[in-house]
A and B are shown apart, each in its own frame.
Chain A
Amino acid sequence: MMREYYLNTIILGIFIIIPIWAFIMDEPFTITLMTRAAIFALAAVGLNIALGLGGLVSLGHATFFGIGGYSMGILAYHAQTFTPLMEWPILVSGSKLMPLIWINAVIMSAVAGLLIGILSLRTSGVYFIMITLAFGQMFFFFSISWSAYGGEDGLSIYIRNSFPGLNTLVPIHYYTLCITLLCAVLWINSRLIKSPFGIALNAARQVPARVETVGLNPVRLKLAAFIMSGTVTGLAGALFADLNRFVSPTMFSWQTSGEIMVFVIIGGVGRLFGPVVGALVFVALEHWLGGLSDFWHIYLGLLLLGIVLFGRGGLIGMICGEARLHE
């Protein structure tokens, strides 16, 4: 069995070497594919905080992905049409500045995470799955009917938003931004797992009764995890919208929630790099198999079935075995 640390290094290596190779060979499409993989990975890393650490099977993470997307869409739309976002009580105008958009996406996702979390965490198991799904659908239908921002057609943003010092329209520049954010979040996540909060949350997933008898509140721990999880997926949503320069209700759809969860399951639930592997495999299959057949999801389904049946730790678990303790 390979040490998980080495495998993680290899995966990170793939995310560095392929884009550099593509840059040298002048293959911008490959860079865009890797950007897509990095953003999906980020969204799934977010879900993994709730799912892997907190044991919260959220089928509504598209909510955050969409909120991130519309944060970008709405701010950029007002900036490109030179209309104010609101005039009362204070004048707020749109923005084409990525850091501002990201902060907005994170804050909005955190607020949504708090509200959805408070209500959803009263339930558990299948009811939790259903209630998070229901919230996702609410946002989905709301976005469809919100004609001010394109309704069903979505919003096109003509020029990618800007980041100080970079030309974000150059694929490798935008990729660098995305991969840097992914690495930063992975680093935070690796610390989080070992932190006092991580240990308490881990226990709250396994034995809530025990956590309560040592005087801690398992629901509050899970709520914090759910919010953090949502902010990361929300940030990914803002990046995804900027990658496509387009945001539509599809980002809120339950299929999106399902895909994010599939990334986590393929790679390995609760494993630091599980979502990253999952997203990479997904984008690779989407690219290669998608070129062969419109029905490539059949093969994805077979892969998922195989992993769920035979490799309970996802791909990472199959290669590295059970997670090590105290590492």
Chain B
Amino acid sequence: MNNIVLSTKGLTKHFGALSASKNITLDLRVGEIHAIIGPNGAGKSTFISQVCGSIKPDNGTVHFLGRDVTQETVRDRAQAGLARSFQISALAMEDSVLQNALLGALGASRNPWRFLSPALGNKMLVEQAKHALDRVGLSDHANKRASELSHGQRRQLEVGIALTLSPKAFVMDEPMAGLGFEGSMKMTSFLNRLRQEAPILLVEHDMEAVFALADRISVLVYGEVIATGTVEEIRADPYVRDAYLGEEL
């Protein structure tokens, strides 16, 4: 199966007596959005961190583009084309929106070792950054400080920075959180188009968005994948309804 971009096999992580991940095996295929849902504390963020490399699993492997990257650092995986957006915005708050996007472009160029030429004078970097801001609808705010952005706009900037990397796969931790109705709608239609560029591993609480977007859904409960399937299958799965979705869905 060479349409698999990203996969985990038997991923296990314990924090003391707590198992945050139990034997998680799933994959992300070309052109799809694979959503991971689950109640609070189900281990979604821990899972994401292991996929991206900021937490090392106790057991199991992560494969990216056909390569075992389990032992590689966050940087190695980023350079290989894995782009992450954080659940809690990780932005350089004192810097402008444009500078934040520039950082992404700089990462993509892999060469921050330029000391005397102004970054804003580098057409290629600036173009790349502005293009990404344009796509997430932040062009008008390029000269604002990141700290002046609303919560929702910060989420958009998170995604914008990920875009500057022209990645092979996205890992997004709750990009809709705090976006509001209209913002959610916009982000949903944006991600819907984005999957053509690169598949998205999406952790999200907004069920409406998940059901609208996901090609496949995995349900994580107490660190364990209790079900994986299409939207219909997950909706119909009695075990999932019981464990997580509740009767009203």
Contacts and interface: CB of A to CB of B under 8 A. Distances in A.
Contact of A214 (B95, B108, B116): B108
A207 B110 contact: no
Nearest to B103: A203
A325 B148 CA distance: 13
Given A196-B106, A199-B95, A215 B111 contact: no
Interface residues on A, range: 20 to 34
B95 A212 contact: no
A192 B117 CA distance: 8
Contact of A194 (B52, B84, B103, B118): B118
A198 B119 contact: yes
A214 B104 CA distance: 6
B75 A215 contact: yes
Given A194-B118, A214-B104, A199 B74 contact: no
A173 to B, nearest CB: 29
Interface stretch (B22-30, B31-39, B85-93, B190-198): B85-93
Interface string B112-156: 111111111010010000000000000000010100000000000
B189 interface: no
Given A202-B92, A207-B91, A214-B165, A195 B106 contact: no
A215 B108 contact: yes
Given A194-B118, A196-B119, A209 B90 contact: yes
Contact of A202 (B52, B94, B122): B94
Contacts of B165: 214-215
Given A199-B102, A209-B90, A211-B103, A216 B118 contact: no
A292 interface: no
Contacts of B119: 194-196, 198-199
Contacts of A326: 96, 98-99, 120, 143
A74 interface: no
Interface of A: 188, 191-192, 194-203, 206-207, 209-217, 221, 224, 325-326
Contacts of A213: 52, 74, 78, 83-84, 86, 90
Nearest to A228: B115
Contact of A196 (B74, B96, B122, B164): B122
Contacts of B91: 207, 210
A211 B116 CA distance: 20
A155 to B, nearest CB: 35
B161 interface: yes
Nearest to B95: A202
Contact of A188 (B93, B114, B116): B116
A39 B78 CA distance: 43
A186 to B, nearest CB: 13
Contacts, number: 119
Contacts of A207: 90-92
The 7 closest A-B pairs by CB, nearest first: A214-B107, A215-B78, A200-B112, A215-B79, A194-B118, A203-B92, A210-B90
B112 A325 contact: no
Most buried by A among B84, B117, B119: B119
A326 B95 CA distance: 9
A188 B115 CA distance: 9
B242 to A, nearest CB: 36
Contacts of A198: 115, 119
Interface residues of B, number: 44
A203 B95 contact: yes
Contact of B112 (A188, A210, A216): A216
A191 B102 contact: no
A291 B106 CA distance: 53
A212 B112 CA distance: 12
Contact of A206 (B94, B102, B161): B94
Contact of B96 (A210, A216, A224, A325): A325
Contacts of A212: 54, 73-75, 78
A195 B108 contact: no
A284 B116 CA distance: 33
B56 to A, nearest CB: 14
Given A202-B92, A325-B96, A216 B84 contact: no
A249 to B, nearest CB: 34
Nearest to B85: A213
Interface string B190-216: 000000000000000000000000000
A216 to B, nearest CB: 5
Nearest to A217: B75
B114 A196 contact: yes
Given A199-B95, A203-B92, A325-B145, A210 B103 contact: yes
A191 to B, nearest CB: 5
Contacts of A194: 118-120
Given A192-B115, A195-B117, A203-B95, A216 B125 contact: no
A199 B93 CA distance: 12
Contacts of B113: 196-197, 224
Contacts of B118: 191, 194-195
A62 B30 CA distance: 56
A210 B92 CA distance: 8
Contacts of B115: 188, 191-192, 195, 197-198
A313 B112 CA distance: 27
A325 B116 contact: no
